[in-house]
Amino acid sequence: MSEYQAPVRDMQFVMHEVFEVSKLWASLPAIAEVADKETADAILEEAAKLMGEVVAPLNRESDEKGSSWKDGVITEPKGFKHAYELYCEGGWNALGGDPAFGGMGMPKTLTGQVEEMLQASGISFGLLPMLTAGAALSINSHATDELKEKYLPNMYAGTWAGAMDLTESHAGTDLGIIRSKAVDNGDGSFAISGTKIFITWGEHEMAENIIHLVLAKLPDAPSGPKGISLFLVPKFLVNEDGSLGERNDFSCGSIEKKMGIKASATCVMNFDGAKGWLVGEPNQGLACMFTMMNYERLVVGIQALGAADRSYQNAATYACDRVQSRGPAGVVCPDKMADPIIVHPDVRRMLLDMRAQTEGARAFSTYVASWLDRAKYSENPDEKKHAEGMTALLTPVTKAFISDKALETAIKGQQVFGGHGFIREWGQEQLVRDIRITQIYEGANGIHGMDLLGRKVVSNGGRFIDFFVADINDYLASVGDSVEHQEFVAPLREAVSRLQAVTANIIARSESDPYVVGAVANDYLHLFGLTAYAYMWTRMAVVALAQQGSDDFYTAKLGVARFFFQRQLPQTLALEASIASGSASTMALDSELF
């Protein structure tokens, strides 16, 4: 496996040239106080060093060794604890945290780039700070000031880690049927009992304490999802002076043996009357969790993007070095016994497919992060509400479309290697295995397709789609009708019109066909994703056109943009036809015939 090189130049291009995030930050007072271009660039450069030199070299060996469990104790892979200490000492755990409790308060448009580097270096390791950041966000948004002051500073410092305890063996997507119970102790705390599964880094020795956020039901709770409450349950109880007290009454009963992310401990957690504290209002646990879900689901997409980009880097390096056969037009390297496989059209096709997807995903995840920043920090109520609508629409696409395409990208990278991609030493097969989970956790991708189409489009008559289309049209109006832009602008306009027509058709059909949303949701998700990427690639191409000839970077960007529009965007035509078929063939076969 080649060494990981963080794509800092492309991140700077997306942030500063395509989206001009400094202007956004300046318009949001809370961000303007802490973030500017110079600070952002310094952060990116330092993060690239840490991830490339400390975290990335651990990825392959840690996958080989994995985490182990014995008598309730987790032993993480060699090097993880030291790497985590360096990560925390550098303040990276605090990057997006609330400054009132020791965080740096950096915007998501910046922290998302650092998260990509972290996840590209190793998803198993990156899950620990990711979950801590998510737990801290939920606590900061919903807990009492007392709980915030007691827990957040140490979580931002990395002294204490975080974990999210949602899933039970019988309750995954349908959390309304969880069985975990919470009983009032009469002193402000609650006794939490039940078993949770699939708890990432639920137990480990890398931090002094682990703060679990646990979903459970109070005795008098309504049935279903409206009866779920959220509780803060620390591994070690915290004394009044902030020191650690006795161990709480819960433990890790085992860890899972998995297809991928083997270095992370995926735990079964048994709560036996553990002491916890209510976060938010009773029976509002899901609302508290969903505060951080938009952020977590964006990061899952970024996880997949990071690993896919690493697969591209490996494959591109290999394709330039590996010699096999002569080029179709004749000898390219007469001093060698064969030509590098990069000369072969099919290899170039795979590499361009990979690059178009990863660079499109990087732009799109930054675009979504910009709406998250507006939703969180804007002081204008109308702008804030509009941003919340855009975030609701784009989040399922970010998580599901990016991860779907990232797996395809990693598989293409494996294919470039041929037989070497199938064996362990090159690292390509690990990336395929690790990306696979991003399509499953934080909500399986099929659920996100139905969330996008059912909740975010059909249920409001396409209002959020109108927001998105208006944003594209505003941008196109700002670009004007320059002839040199038309090779990108014209197909984008066609794609947007196609998305609008398909959306209107589905909304109309849903009134008489209860199955249509579920039947076409996945195709609609991909139609939307490709259209969104067309918007991203248009914005990138317009910037690159203005700079062409000044730097090979812009020449390459234009080349990949043209490949996307000519070879990938036409897939929307097939998706349109598939969606038009509706639900009939999907629902025609009797269940017993499966």
Give catalytic residues, as residue numbers.
Answer: 442
Question: In the chain, what are the helix, strand and coil shares in percent, each to the nearest 5?
Answer: 65, 15, 25
Q: What's 109's DSSP letter? A: H
Q: In this structure, are residues 440 and 303 in contact, taking their beta carbons and an 8 Å threshold?
A: no
E runs forming strands in 226-304 = 229-234, 236-238, 244-247, 250-255, 266-279
Q: For residues 267 and 251, what is the distance between their CA atoms, to the nearest angstrom?
A: 10
The long-range contacts involving 437-441, CB below 8 angstroms and separated by at least 24 positions, are: 437/123, 437/258, 437/259, 437/260, 437/261, 438/123, 438/300, 438/301, 438/303, 438/304, 438/307, 438/399, 438/403, 438/406, 438/407, 439/304, 439/400, 439/403, 439/404, 439/407, 441/198, 441/200, 441/300
How many other C-beta atoms can be found within 10 angstroms of the C-beta atom of residue 346? 10
Query: Which residues does 531 contact at the CB level (< 8 Å), separation at least 6?
Result: 495, 496, 498, 499, 572
Neighbours of 377 (CB within 10 A): 20
Rounded to the nearest angstrom, the gap between the alpha carbon of residue 554 and the centroid of all alpha carbons in its chain is 27
**DSSP type of residue 329:** T
CA of 303: how far to CAs of 9, 326, 420, in Å? 19, 37, 24
Question: Of 2, 1, 18, nearest to 539 (Cα)?
Answer: 18
Strands (E), 117-158: none
CB within 8 A of 475, min separation 6: which ones?
535, 538, 539
Greatest Cα-to-Cα distance within the chain, rounded to the nearest angstrom? 83
| Amino acid code (one letter) for 392 | A
Output DSSP code: residue 4.
P
Cβ atoms 538, 488 nearer than 8 A: yes
Q: Which residues pair with 272 in a beta bridge?
A: 193
Bridge-based pairing state of the strands 73-75 and 68-70: antiparallel
| 8 A C-beta contact, residue 136 and residue 156 | yes
